[in-house]
Amino acid sequence: MSWTIDEWFVVALARTIRPAETVFHGFGSPCAQVAMHVARRTHAPDITLVEGAMYAINPDPPFIPPTSNDASLKRGAAYSMRFEEFFDAAIRGDVDRMFLSGGQIDGYGNTNVTAIGPAGHPKVKLGGGGGGCNLSATIGQLTVWTTRHRSGRTLVAECDFITDMGHRTRLGTRAELGFTGGGPQWLVTELGIFDYPDGQARLVQLFPDVSAADVRAATGFGLRAAGDLRPVPPPSVAELAAVRTVDPLGVRRSEFSAKELTRTFAHHEGQACAC
Amino acid sequence: MSLQPPRDKRASLADAVSLVADGATVALGGGLSARLPMALVRELLRQGRRGLHLVGSAHSIDVDLLVAAGAVRRLEESYVGFEQDLGLAPAYRRAAEEGTIEVAESCCATILAQLRAAEMGLPFLPVRGVRGSDIIRLHPEYAEITCPFTGETLVAVPALRPDVALLHAPAGDRYGNLHLEQPYVLDERFASASAMVVATVDELVSTEDVTAAGVTIPAHLVAAVTEVPYGAHPSSCYPRYAYDRAHLREYVSAAQSGPDDLEKYLATYVGGSEQDYRLAVGASRLAALATWSTSTPAWQEIFS
């Protein structure tokens, strides 16, 4: 059995979803999108999956298209929420988890999807945050992710602009700001996985072809690592099959650089893990 | 303002778009790759509209084309781009970086609250979140308030009443009753919050037919309706046609490479009439976008 980094990454995202959660991903997020369907087909069949910009409830798309509001994404759903039904649910606290990414992510899990450089005259104007600056305050838990950790430009000491709020912004903590949601719980990157004990990112798992030194070199905030730093557990046969069935067009791969996509792993029978 | 009286609202595309003044605050319907009012956008460009203030949630080629043509002064959108697939919006990005447009980036739920305030005739509504985000720095008009009942600090955002909402629907009748398929995005909210709605439909149908399909936007909110087949192209308008990914790629590549290629795109696709537009895209390509319902492989093939 062999698999590629995009498949393993999606499985790692899927495992952050707990049974019976109500889960949402924003637009332009194919890895998170595929991960939600993988979770629903494996360890968490009873989630309420709200499909991106369609707001369809538990659809069974025939494939994941390259855009987040194609009608294929509401196939099999008995109901699609209105835009306002979804945002109302999220703001009153009925959505348990959202996947969130950013061009910049700091150690508190604040994310920047607005602009690199000064906001008035940005060096790079990014697309914008969609609903994040409201939702990141009220949704139960956030799974933050990036596929561009190795660039060295993504995990930064300080975001040039905070679009969506993590555990602590320049104005204070979530409690001080009166936020009702719990904030970032996991940060999944193509190098490893972080949790947030006490509100700051801590490396807890590494992909087996990555060293802690690699992660330190690519991370702009001071790297903290767990004492029992472990390898990311390999995907199961069922999880890999789910990734491939859900996303036959490989739309998830568009989030990775060509170089990352060459990372291939194998698991041989009789061995615990020969990744 | 009173509701629109029941009358035949059919208008030419040119007359419908002439209801949008230079400098108007314009809400664009649909979102991302779905049901963007593209025929109305192209007509705004033909008429050389200037100084527009665009408001909305997550948009793509509609906003980028208007910015590329110099029609926009200020934007309050929550996102402008082509998702992970085709990336940043070239003209929007360039104009923001050069400072030739004012970008008051906003957030979906904030815009929703502002539209609801306008619908209810209220001066503002409070929202959660936003505090701690630098988005608040782009909006000096927001104000922190203390809830008189709970003592919580919330952010008050002012009512947003666009001068005109531009919407596209797969079908509607001559009175302006419109049927939409999901996602409705903010179209319903735009329709009642805006001073006026101007709509295009792929097909004008009888009142019986639009009633049977289900009226999403009622005639009493609509000022003008124009039949434009493929009026949302290159975005989708289900159940009629899927979005044209290849055309979006052609646009993004032209807009990225600079003024010459962008001029060429505008001359080819905007210079003539909507009939010329359909000819330039090609009847066979348009027909292919309608084959999505025949099989899953056919649907996938459209996006290759």
Q: Which residue of chain A is at minimal alpha-carbon distance from B84? A: A28
- For residues B253-277, average pLDDT: 97
Tell me how close the Cα of B293 comes to any Cα of chain A, in angstroms.
Answer: 10
Q: Is the pLDDT of residue B53 over 50?
A: yes
B58 vs A161: CB contact, 8 Å cut-off? no
Closest CA to A246 of A69, A70, A59: A59
Q: How confident is the model at residue A267 (pLDDT cuts 50, 70, 90)?
A: confident
User: What's the rounded Cα separation, in Å, for the pair B60 and B71?
Assistant: 15
Q: Is the pLDDT of residue A275 over 60?
A: no
Q: Which residue of chain A is at minimal alpha-carbon distance from B241? A: A71
- pLDDT at residue A269, as a whole number: 57
- pLDDT at residue A268, as a whole number: 66
Residues of A in contact with B296 (CB under 8 A): 62-63
Instruction: Kindly state whether residue A47 falls inside one of the protein's structural domains.
Output: yes
- pLDDT at residue A169, as a whole number: 96
Residues of B in contact with A173 (CB under 8 A): none
For chains A and B, CB pairs below 8 A equal 193
Q: How confident is the model at residue B36 (pLDDT cuts 50, 70, 90)?
A: very high
Segments forming the whole domain that contains residue A94: 2-266
What's the whole-model pTM score? 0.97
| Nearest-CB residue to A70 (from B135, B138, B243) | B243
B107 vs A134: CB contact, 8 Å cut-off? yes
The ipTM is 0.96
Measure CA A52 to chain center.
13
Q: Which amino acid is at B32?
A: L
- % of residues, chain B, pLDDT over 70: 100
Q: Which of A133, A161, A168 to mutate to test the interface with B (most CBs of B within 10 A)?
A: A133
Q: What is the DSSP letter of A155?
A: B
Q: Is the pLDDT of residue B97 over 50?
A: yes
Tell me how close the Cα of A202 comes to any Cα of chain B, in angstroms.
Answer: 23
Q: How confident is the model at residue A120 (pLDDT cuts 50, 70, 90)?
A: confident
Q: How confident is the model at residue A272 (pLDDT cuts 50, 70, 90)?
A: low
- pLDDT at residue A139, as a whole number: 98
Task: Please give the CATH architecture assigned to the domain spanning B13-106+161-233.
Answer: 3-Layer(aba) Sandwich (3.40)
Buried-exposed string B275-288: b where 16+ CB fall within 10 A, e elsewhere: eebbeebeeebbeb
- For residues B115-136, average pLDDT: 97
Q: Is the pLDDT of residue A271 over 80?
A: no
pLDDT tens, residue by residue, A42-64:
999 999 999 999 999 999 999 99
Instruction: Kindly state whether residue A271 falls inside one of the protein's structural domains.
Output: no
| Nearest-CB residue to B132 (from A29, A54, A162) | A162
Instruction: Kindly state whether residue A274 falls inside one of the protein's structural domains.
Output: no
User: What's the rounded Cα separation, in Å, for the pair A93 and A180?
Assistant: 7
Q: Which amino acid is at A120?
A: G
- pLDDT at residue B151, as a whole number: 96
B32 vs A171: CB contact, 8 Å cut-off? no
B96 vs A165: CB contact, 8 Å cut-off? no
Q: Which amino acid is at A64?
A: I
CATH number of the domain enclosing A44: 3.40.1080.10
Residues of B in contact with A165 (CB under 8 A): 129, 132-133
Instruction: Kindly state whether residue A115 falls inside one of the protein's structural domains.
Output: yes
- pLDDT at residue A237, as a whole number: 97
Instruction: Kindly state whether residue A104 falls inside one of the protein's structural domains.
Output: yes
Mean pLDDT for all residues in chain A: 96
Measure CA A90 to chain center.
17
- For residues B30-47, average pLDDT: 98
- pLDDT at residue B111, as a whole number: 98
Of residues A269 and B301, the one with the higher pLDDT is B301
B132 vs A122: CB contact, 8 Å cut-off? no
- For residues B185-194, average pLDDT: 98
Q: Which residues does A5 contact at the CB level (< 8 Å), separation at least 6?
A: A190, A207, A256, A260, A261, A263, A264, A265
A171 vs B132: CB contact, 8 Å cut-off? yes
pLDDT tens, residue by residue, A172-222:
999 999 999 999 999 999 999 999 999 999 999 999 999 999 999 999 999
Residues of B in contact with A248 (CB under 8 A): 300
Tell me how close the Cα of A266 comes to any Cα of chain B, in angstroms.
Answer: 28
Instruction: Kindly state whether residue A275 falls inside one of the protein's structural domains.
Output: no
Q: Which amino acid is at B252?
A: V
Structure-token pair, residue A26: 């924003």
- For residues B98-115, average pLDDT: 97
- pLDDT at residue A270, as a whole number: 54
- For residues B147-172, average pLDDT: 98
| Nearest-CB residue to B84 (from A30, A70, A170) | A30
pLDDT tens, residue by residue, B204-236:
999 999 999 999 999 999 999 999 999 999 999
Buried-exposed string B220-246: b where 16+ CB fall within 10 A, e elsewhere: ebbbbbbbbbbbbbbbbbbebbbbbbe
Residue B75 neighbours by CB distance under 10 Å: 25
Q: Which residues does B232 contact at the CB level (< 8 Å), separation at least 6?
A: B30, B34, B35, B36, B37, B38, B39, B168, B202, B241
Residues of B in contact with A53 (CB under 8 A): 31-32, 34, 58, 183
Q: Which of A73, A75, A84, A112 to mutate to test the interface with B (most CBs of B within 10 A)?
A: A84
Query: What does the DSSP assignment read for B85-148?
Result: HHEE-HHHHHHHHHTSSEE----HHHHHHHHHHHHHT-SEEEESS-TTSGGGGG-TT-EEEE-T
A129 vs B105: CB contact, 8 Å cut-off? yes
Residues of B in contact with A119 (CB under 8 A): 134, 137-138
**Backbone region of residue B87 per phi and psi (left: phi > 0; alpha: psi in -120 to 50; beta: other values):** left
- Interchain CB contact of A98 with B (< 8 Å): no
Residues of A in contact with B137 (CB under 8 A): 119
Q: How confident is the model at residue A274 (pLDDT cuts 50, 70, 90)?
A: very low
Number of domains in chain A: 1
- % of residues, chain B, pLDDT over 90: 99
Q: Which residue of chain A is at minimal alpha-carbon distance from B83? A: A28
